[in-house]
Amino acid sequence: MTGTTHASTPGAFATAMRRAISLSTLGPSWGINPRVGCVLLDVNGAVLAEGWHRGAGTAHAEVDALSQLPPSAARGATAVVTLEPCNHTGRTGPCSEALLRAGIGRLVYGVRDPGPASSGGAERLANAGVDVIGGVSADEVSESIHAWLTAERLRRPFVTIKWASSLDGRIAAADGSSRWITGDPARHDVHERRAAVDAIVAGTGTVLADDPSLTARRPDGSLAEHQPVPVIIGERPVPDDAAVRRGPVPALVYPDRDLPTVLTDLFERGIRSVFVEGGPTLASAFLAAGLWDEILTYTAPVLIGGPRLAVTDIGVGTLTDAPRLTVHDVRRLGDDVLFITRPKGR
């Protein structure tokens, strides 16, 4: 007997999917693996067990949930999973096979796995006679793992460009002073986001001028539990005693400005998200090349004037050439405002 695959969104499973999404956020946002949550329901719709993925090398969400049940307790159950179960062997075995061994009767998932090697779990289960329903709460699931999905589909890290500027778009005064344009709440938000990505990227100009550590810190100044990899791009040498070389994670240095090659290498190293904080020259290079997925603009209610703009030439000769952005979110951080924008129409 062969199971069936549906693309509907039954309301009966939406509540369980929302719970699975919430569980997925308990896992790390960085690393090669996505955040995934799983809820197992009995034949009456009651929750049997829950699970989530805790990072590379640990049990996947489906296996984590199954591990909480005695043998045969999941037979005939419904597995509600945010991402299509994997169908390959990596550090752990395929979740599709684990679900089949447990005897589940139905799989409900949010979005398909875009990985060329790991996808196919839904088809594997359907071919084995399991009822498969896909696309449940797909928009919500996609947003919860937006960066990872984008990286997997584009085969490069998700690129976030960040700058802090005055209301008139300046990142520093005429004398170069820029500390601090924004207030404490905005700076704390930046560090929380740094601690949620794989790498921070800066140009050699910024490293030589500002000597940043490129670390993620808590409000008390201590290092956050997860530290991103510092990535330095540029031809000028970085001194051995630079702060970025004294940090908790060894820096990766790319002595050129071939951004596509840099991103490809980072992806192959398992880096799925990068935070570009390298000043206007590097930010403009990413923008001009179209190698960006999100912009964080921390705007302070102050006027500076002068030539030190957040972005330089990005190849826009006329207004019709200007890239249009979609405002994804706007947040008030003390006296400052954070605009989160993404490419329009992607």
From the list 55, 62, 57, 102, the residue with the least C-alpha distance to 81 is: 62
Query: Is residue 62 annotated as a catalytic residue, yes or no?
Result: yes
DSSP string, 64-106: HHHTTS-TTTTTT-EEEEEEPPP-S-SSS--HHHHHHHHT-SE
Q: What is the bridge-based pairing of β-strands 47-52 and 37-41?
A: antiparallel
- Cis upstream peptide for 52 (omega within 30°): no
Q: Three-class SS string for 129-143?
A: CCEEECCCCHHHHHH
Structure tokens at 336: 């400052």
163, HSE (Cβ side, Cα atoms, 13 Å):
22
Q: How far apart are CA 71 and CA 94, in angstroms?
A: 18
Backbone angles phi, psi at 96, to 5 degrees: -60, -45
Q: Which two tokens stand for residue 27?
A: 């896992």
How buried is 10 (Cβ within 10 angstroms: 0-12 exposed, 13-18 middle, 19+ buried)?
Answer: exposed
Distance CA 292, CA 340 (A): 13
Q: Could you give the C-alpha distances from 282 to 43, 235, 241, in angstroms and in order? A: 55, 12, 23
Annotated catalytic residue: which of 50, 62, 277, 294?
62
Helices 279-289 and 259-268 cross at an angle (nearest 10°) of: 90
Beta strands in 138-255, from DSSP E residues, in sequence order: 158-166, 199-203, 229-233, 252-254
Q: How far apart are CA 125 and CA 121, in angstroms?
A: 6
Residues designated as active site: 62
